[in-house]
Amino acid sequence: GDLTSFVNRGWKVVPAVMDSIPVTLSLVFGAAILWVVVSIAIGIVAAATRDSWLDKLLMALGLLGISMPVYWLGEVMNLITQSRYHDSWAFSWVPPLGYKNFSDDPKGWFLTLVIPW
């Protein structure tokens, strides 16, 4: 395929992809770090409480988490955090949808990515 322009619009593909790389890498690496840390912590707790109700609960939550479609969960989280509940005490800290650069606003960068992670 031709990666120099979109078929009908004449837009350049490579610059569009290059502009999206920082956002994609922030999302991917942040999620991977979070998944590994949380998974190891849950695994340690489950191993320490083997055959208890907590072990069974953590196993069920793990199975639910691995089985749930990520795109569906993301959309549900957007609907919950960006709807009328956005101004409630629970989600008032969630910024509107979008992305902020880490170099411009580290706290804003973290807050825009914490729900997608």
**pLDDT (tens digit, 9 = 90+) per residue, 54-90?**
999 999 998 998 898 988 888 888 877 777 766 677 7
For 10-47, how does the pLDDT look when each residue is reduced to its tens digit (9 = 90+)?
677 777 788 888 888 888 888 888 889 989 999 999 99
Helix, strand, coil shares of the chain, percent, nearest 5, are 65, 0, 35
CB 97 within 8 A of CB 75: no
Report pTM. 0.65
CB 13 within 8 A of CB 6: yes
The CA distance from 35 to 23, in Å, is 18
